[in-house]
């Protein structure tokens, strides 16, 4: 126990502080979440509801759309009736419609029961999440496509966005089943993915998140073990879906990706494909830098750029821990504000994750790269190299022949990237006068070719 007491604050506190920018950023935002019926069939409902309750407690407005494909298949099998699909959609005859209605009712009951839990020592303790479901969707029939009559299968005709908005603004979660009704009262079986996408567009939601069997989109589609591509622009996602066969199964690469593209093109800021098999996937996607699945955005969220005065606070927050432990020389806010034009930063979704400053000495045709810092959250992901290359480009543009750094702890990182150690007497005279002989920093130089 004493060991845990010593370690816990050193892990929990930095983590919680790192999460704080996301808590601030998403308070009051609207998320539409599509939960595949397979997730519920796999026993993931309670953990998922606990994570949703955490989002709700943080002031995020939630709309949950559940799927029920495996549950309907199970009901049909119990009645000795075959499940039929075409064009990636269910053909809903009278028996399938009855099964869908039964499955939807049972799932609504299970979901509402899960949100009603308040067991001690769980995320649901002291939580009050009110759930409202209703006839928020108007539907139209799919009709006959390529000679196939889809009968009671439908598309979303209209989402009552005003009613949903009033409900979620009152801190109530809206639960939507994939059912819609025509103006004549006829019921239509809808696809969860289409309902979630149409609802997100109608609400102009900040996020659309699908919890699916898919881990995300792989960087190499031909290698099932390749890394997940954590961020795709809409243009990239469109090109990818156009190059793939028409999806018919939820496990097809383009199945959820096509809905993510449609949502972003319809005004939703970001759409996500997440694996329900990973416990806490929703929290990891929302509250960590790279997330765990694939996010589709209108434009890339990460940018490498020159700093502005608005970045001073973010730079201070980034470098302060390294100043405390002696890795960096302390810099006052006034100094950073004065020199802000010298800084290069990496920003992701409004948060500064890396920085470096370039101080030229034109008379010696060199420059110092100072305060190179990468957040511990994203180290070993190549951001240090990206900033170094950008600083080198800036130095070359000034007609300089080399850059140098002073360091006490990171010699090997710089040596691997082409720096060579020199005597402190090599320093330009103006910099030599400011050299701290007590600190005994190593001087490393890289020639710019």
Residue 352 pairs with which residues in a beta bridge? 347
d(CA 190, CA 259): 14
User: Among 67-81, 160-174, 372-386, 432-446, whose mean pLDDT is lowest?
Assistant: 372-386
State how far the alpha carbon of 29 is from the alpha carbons of 37, 62, 63, 117, in Å.
25, 9, 11, 25
State how far the alpha carbon of 356 is from the alpha carbons of 71, 146, 225, 337, 445, in Å.
54, 60, 35, 14, 16
Average pLDDT, the chain: 90
State how far the alpha carbon of 59 is from the alpha carbons of 31, 52, 68, 114, 173, in Å.
11, 11, 28, 20, 11
pTM of the model: 0.71
Segment 317-343, tens digit of pLDDT: 999 988 888 888 888 889 999 999 999
Handedness of CA 415, 420, 421, 424 (dihedral sign): negative
Residue 436 has pLDDT above 50, yes or no: yes
Most confident by average pLDDT, 208-212, 312-316, 348-352: 208-212
Of residues 118 and 425, the one with the higher pLDDT is: 425
Residue 2 has pLDDT above 50, yes or no: no
First CA to last CA across the chain, in angstroms?
56
Residue 191 has pLDDT above 90, yes or no: yes
Q: C-alpha dihedral over 289, 292, 294, 298, to 10 degrees? A: -20
Q: C-alpha dihedral over 104, 107, 111, 112, to 10 degrees? A: 60
Question: Quick one: tokens of 79?
Answer: 């009645």
Q: Which of 390, 355, 400, 361 is nearest to 374 (CA)?
A: 355
- Which backbone phi and psi does 29 adopt, to 5 degrees? -85, 165
Of residues 127 and 400, the one with the higher pLDDT is: 400
User: Among 121-135, 214-228, 315-329, 391-405, whose mean pLDDT is lowest?
Assistant: 121-135
pLDDT reported for residue 88 = 85
Residue 25 has pLDDT above 90, yes or no: no
Q: What is the 3-state secondary structure (H, E, C) of the chain?
A: CHHHHHHHHHHHHHHHHHHHHHHHHHCCCEEEEEECHHHHHCCCHHHHHHHHHHHHHCCCEEEEEECCHHHHHHHHHHCCCCCCEECCEECECHHHHHHHHHHHHHHHHHHHHHHCCCCCCCCCCCCCCEEECCCCEEEEECCEECCEECECEEEEEEECHHHHHHHHHCCEEEEECCEEECCCCCEEECCHHHHHHHHHHHHCCCEEEEEECCCCCECCCCCCCCCECCEEEHHHHHHHHHHCCCCCCCCCHHHHHHHHHHHHHCCCCEEEEEECCCCCHHHHHHHCCCCCCEEEECCCCEEEEECCHHHHHHHHHHHHHHHHCCCCCCCCHHHHHHCHHHEEEEEECCEEEEEEEEEEEHHHCEEEEEEEEECHHHCCCCHHHHHHHHHHHHHHHCCCCEEEEEECCCHHHHHCCCCEEECHHHCCHHHHCCCCCCCCCEEEEEECC
Residue 374 pairs with which residues in a beta bridge? 354
User: Among 90-99, 125-134, 182-191, 227-236, whose mean pLDDT is lowest?
Assistant: 125-134
Based on its alpha-carbon atoms, the radius of gyration of the chain, rounded to whole angstroms, reads 27
Residue 53 pairs with which residues in a beta bridge? none
pLDDT reported for residue 405 = 96
Residue 380 has pLDDT above 70, yes or no: no
Of residues 116 and 49, the one with the higher pLDDT is: 49
Q: What is the mean pLDDT of residues 248-267?
A: 93
d(CA 268, CA 65): 16
d(CA 347, CA 431): 30
Percent of the chain residues topping a pLDDT of 90: 67
Residue 34 pairs with which residues in a beta bridge? 65, 210
Residue 55 has pLDDT above 60, yes or no: yes
The count of other CB atoms within 10 Å of the CB of residue 388 is 22
Segment 141-190, tens digit of pLDDT: 999 999 999 999 999 999 999 999 999 999 999 999 999 999 888 999 99
Q: What is the mean pLDDT of residues 366-376?
A: 93
pLDDT reported for residue 437 = 82
User: Among 259-273, 291-305, 358-372, whose mean pLDDT is lowest?
Assistant: 291-305
Q: What is the mean pLDDT of residues 229-252?
A: 91
């Amino acid at each position: 126990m004493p060991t845990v007491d010593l370690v816990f604050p050193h892990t929990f506190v930095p983590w919680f502080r790192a999460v704080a920018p996301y808590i601030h950023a998403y308070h009051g935002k609207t998320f539409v979440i599509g939960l595949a019926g397979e997730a519920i069939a796999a026993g993931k409902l309670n953990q998922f509801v606990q994570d949703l309750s955490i989002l709700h407690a943080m002031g995020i407005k939630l709309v949950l759309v559940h799927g029920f494909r495996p549950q309907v298949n199970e009901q049909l099998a119990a009645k000795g009736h075959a499940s039929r699909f075409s064009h990636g959609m269910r053909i809903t005859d009278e028996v399938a419609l009855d099964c869908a209605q039964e499955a939807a009712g049972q799932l609504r009951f299970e979901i509402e029961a899960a949100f009603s839990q308040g067991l001690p020592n769980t995320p649901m303790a002291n939580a009050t999440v009110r759930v409202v479901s209703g006839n928020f969707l108007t539907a139209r029939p799919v009709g006959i496509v390529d000679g196939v009559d889809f009968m009671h299968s439908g598309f979303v005709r209209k989402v009552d966005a005003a009613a949903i908005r009033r409900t979620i603004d009152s801190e109530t979660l809206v639960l939507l089943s994939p059912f819609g009704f025509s103006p004549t009262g006829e019921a239509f079986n809808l696809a969860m993915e289409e309902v979630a996408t149409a609802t997100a567009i109608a609400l102009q939601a900040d996020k659309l998140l699908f919890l699916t069997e898919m881990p995300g989109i792989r960087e190499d589609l031909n290698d099932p073990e390749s890394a997940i591509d954590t961020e795709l622009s809409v243009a990239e996602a469109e090109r990818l879906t156009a190059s793939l066969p028409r999806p018919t199964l939820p496990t097809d690469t383009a199945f959820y990706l096509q809905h993510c593209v449609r949502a972003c093109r319809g005004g939703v800021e970001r759409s996500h494909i997440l694996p329900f098999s990973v416990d806490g996937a929703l929290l990891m996607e929302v509250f960590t830098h790279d997330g765990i699945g694939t996010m589709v955005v209108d434009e890339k969220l990460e940018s490498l750029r020159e700093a502005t005065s608005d970045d001073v606070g973010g730079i201070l927050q980034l470098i302060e821990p390294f100043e405390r432990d002696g890795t960096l020389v302390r810099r006052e806010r006034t100094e950073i504000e004065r020199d802000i034009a010298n800084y290069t930063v990496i920003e992701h979704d409004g948060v500064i994750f890396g920085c470096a400053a370039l101080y030229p000495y034109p008379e010696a045709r060199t420059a110092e790269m100072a305060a190179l810092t990468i957040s511990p959250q994203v180290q070993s992901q190549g951001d240090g190299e990206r900033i170094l290359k950008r600083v080198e480009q800036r130095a070359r543009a000034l007609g300089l022949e080399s850059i140098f750094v002073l360091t006490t702890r990171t010699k090997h990182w710089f040596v691997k990237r082409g720096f060579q150690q020199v005597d402190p007497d090599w320093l330009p005279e103006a910099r030599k006068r400011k050299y701290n002989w007590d600190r005994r920093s190593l001087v490393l130089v890289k020639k710019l070719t």
